[in-house]
Amino acid sequence: MSSEPLPYPAAPEAAVDLEAEFRASNVQEVLDQLDRELVGLAPVKTRIREIAALLLVDRVRRSLNLTSETPTLHMCFTGNPGTGKTTVALRMADILHRLGYVRQGHLVAVTRDDLVGQYIGHTAPKTKEVLKKAMGGVLFIDEAYYLYRPENERDYGQEAIEILLQVMENQRDDLVVILAGYKDKMDRFFQSNPGMRSRIAHHIDFPDYTPEELLAIGKLMLAQQNYRLSPEAEEVFKDYIRRRMGLPHFANARSIRNALDRARLRQANRLFASRKQPLTRAQIMTLEPPDLLQSRVFREGAPQNEEPGQAH
């Protein structure tokens, strides 16, 4: 009979409650807010949830000493204007903050003009000042491809790009950069700047809205300001959306907002013209067909070069 001592049973591994970690992070609150704020965009919302799940698991892995460095979190949002890129960037900053990947969770939104100077020695201070403001949060660079203008020998955008690349690599634990713009232009930008592409971990494409989604967006915008469409006006607005989508410079939700701002202006003038008659609360809240039909979009031979901010 052996006299060797019996081995002790291995201690059970401690289990991690991911659901409890998720609840404690309050990230669901941000995801719910995103659902309330943005109509549609199912593929985008799915990607945001996937990134949130990845970061939650990574945070747990770090607590168990299973990872050694911060994951690369820089992103690229591509899509046409008015598809919600800035709003999603704001919520992404909040998610990153709640999961502990950025210190403050604020968003600094800039364009080329905020980063690139017009003379020698001007670009570096401008770019570094923007980066200083964004540290601890998210830097959102809209139409980022305009940073690179190889056709202009005296352009200083390349200097800004080189500074950004250095910070994106060396300080990625304290700053997340999100580049945004049209997909085809961003693709060309990355082809010309492979160092930038290699630092982008997540590419998210924002689809255009459907007419039905644009109608829902418009009604949501109106409800937020205590307005509504009459049933007749809703039919006119559906026709407006269809026509406007076929015109140049259509900017999705941005064009819808512009159209409704104009409609509210026309409604106010219509009500003021009949001010001698008492108005009910419902009348003051409701947009009617004339408030929309005065748009140039309904006129025969409407200009084909209208900008989003013009009187559509």
DSSP 8-state secondary structure symbol assigned to residue 276: T
- 94-130 pLDDT per residue, tens: 999 999 999 999 999 999 999 998 878 889 999 999 9
DSSP 8-state secondary structure symbol assigned to residue 299: S
Domain 18-206 sits in CATH 3.40.50.300: yes
pTM: 0.84
Q: What is the reported pLDDT for 17?
A: 82
In three-state secondary structure terms, 296 is helix
Instruction: List the alpha helices (DSSP H) in the chain.
Output: 18-25, 27-37, 42-63, 85-98, 112-115, 123-134, 157-170, 183-192, 194-198, 211-224, 231-245, 253-273, 281-285, 289-293
Half-sphere exposure of 281 (CA within 13 A, CB side): 1
Right CATH for 211-298 from 1.20.140.10, 2.10.109.10, 3.40.50.720, 1.10.8.60: 1.10.8.60
CB 306 within 8 A of CB 249: yes
Summarize the confidence of residues 245-272 as an average pLDDT: 95
- 172-200 pLDDT per residue, tens: 889 999 999 999 999 999 998 888 999 99
In three-state secondary structure terms, 172 is coil
In three-state secondary structure terms, 200 is coil
- 14-65 pLDDT per residue, tens: 677 888 888 888 999 999 999 988 999 999 999 999 999 999 998 888 888 8
Token pair, residue 301, equals 């031979």
- Centroid of chain to Cα 99: 19
Q: Which residues of the chain does CATH 1.10.8.60 include?
A: 211-298
Q: Which residues of the chain does CATH 3.40.50.300 include?
A: 18-206
Q: What is the reported pLDDT for 267?
A: 96
Residue 195 and residue 62: Cα distance in Å, rounded? 28
